[in-house]
Amino acid sequence: MKKSKDFRREPLTDTQLLMTITICIFVGMYLLAMLIFKGGFLHAQQVFDMLNDNASLIIVSCGLTVVMIGRGIDISVGAVTSFVVMSCVLYLNKGGSLFVSVLIALGIGLAFGIVQGFLISYLEIQPFIVTLAGMFFARGMTTILSVNPQKAAHEGFAKLRETKIVIPWLGYIAKNGKLVPARVELGVVVALCCLLAVFLLLMFHRLGRALYAIGGNPSSALMLGINVKRTRFLSYVISGLLSGISGFVFMMHTGAANATNAAGMEMNAIASSIIGGTLLTGGVGNVIGTFFGTMTLTTIKKIVVSSGLNAPWWQSITTGGMLCFFILLQSVVLSQRARKKKA
């Protein structure tokens, strides 16, 4: 009750405003696509497909949002994902157990997170350089493990991969008259769990609140008695852990490892975080926004395909244009608000 009363006096925070804009644009865009292109966009399966394809991207973007809120950047996430996929597939093909492969995935992610976090927060090296080196290392290790594509041939894993959650009341009737139920892969569930966990962490846990404080102003956070170094360290550990999880989810989606897996994923993840309203300057952002950022990016790509622009360059040109639009919008909105605050 109190909240609604105070609503007028207390305007939206920057985080909430940027997130709201993104969600509105996503919903508007999807509705427009439904009206114009009909076809696939009318089926619920379209949304689930988008989720299925992007489960690992969502997880990675969550990690990146955490790091970006604390004024950092982590560009090693895509490469770590690829490294995890390769090592897990090789391990499974050697007859390893599924449980241990999950542990391997988590372990690799944690190891990257800990080393990078230590170098960045305790040795005060620029995050860009450290994670760039991390990216090079992970990509190089992936090719050292195997240059050739590897297919996972493990029974338990195949079963896990085949397991799909069927949502019966959201199916559609195919052309042959059969009812095709909507399917969601297990990876999506993992992704949504990660999303929820990170959301709760950022909103209610002391670590999350400290992270916002550090992103807003590191020196005043230090004076408030926040352990800046440890918090930043932990943010990178979280990001590393999430890229490990993302690697496993990626493997569940593709079922095979390739040296070029998840190429460019780090930039996609950064783009989704930005579209979702996270600022690289820190202190502003939310994983819910990041989720909608990922969905917006995917929807743009789907719309480009549906609208018949089949030439291979249009997808990334429109993505770039969209990114430009969002970035400009954020800049204009925030500078307007800053001016109002001053006046």
Pairing of strands 150-151, 256-257: antiparallel
CB atoms within 10 A of CB 27: 13
The binding track of 275-304 with respect to other proteins, each residue x by CB under 8 A or -, is -----xx-----------------------
Binding-residue pattern over the window 49 to 78 for other proteins, x denoting contact by CB under 8 A: ------------------------x-----
Query: Is residue 134 part of the contact set for other proteins (CB under 8 A)?
Result: yes
Is position 140 an interface residue for other proteins (rule: CB under 8 A)? yes
Per DSSP, which regions of the chain are E strands? 150-151, 164-173, 179-185, 256-257
What separation in angstroms does the CA of 111 have from each of 82, 94, 249? 15, 23, 18
Q: Which stretch binds other proteins (CB under 8 A): 137-145, 162-170, 204-212, 302-310?
A: 137-145
- DSSP conformation letters of 163-226: -EEEEEEEEEE-TTS-EEEEEEEHHHHHHHHHHHHHHHHHHHSHHHHHHHHHHH-HHHHHHTT-
Interface pick for other proteins out of 257, 274, 287, 295 (rule CB under 8 A): 274
Binding mask 91-130 for other proteins (x = CB under 8 A): ----------------------------x--xxxxx-xxx
Q: Identify the CA nearest to 149 among candidates 202, 82, 73, 74.
A: 82
Q: Which stretch binds other proteins (CB under 8 A): 2-10, 161-169, 182-190, 308-316?
A: 308-316
Q: Return the exposure string of 302-312: e unless at least 16 CB atoms fall within 10 Å of the residue's CB, then b.
A: bbbeeeeeeee
Report in angstroms how near the CB of residue 329 gets to other proteins at its nearest: 10
Of 195 and 274, CB closest to other proteins: 274
The footprint of other proteins on this chain (CB under 8 A) covers a number of residues equal to 46
CA atoms of 249 and 337, how far apart (whole Å): 40
Contact pick of 18, 252, 257, 271 for other proteins (by CB under 8 A): 271
Q: How many residues does the chain have?
A: 343
90 binds other proteins (CB under 8 A): no
Q: Which positions touch other proteins (CB under 8 A)?
A: 73, 119, 122-126, 128-130, 132-137, 139-141, 143-144, 147, 259, 267, 270-271, 274, 280-281, 311-317, 319-321, 323-324, 327-328, 331-332, 335
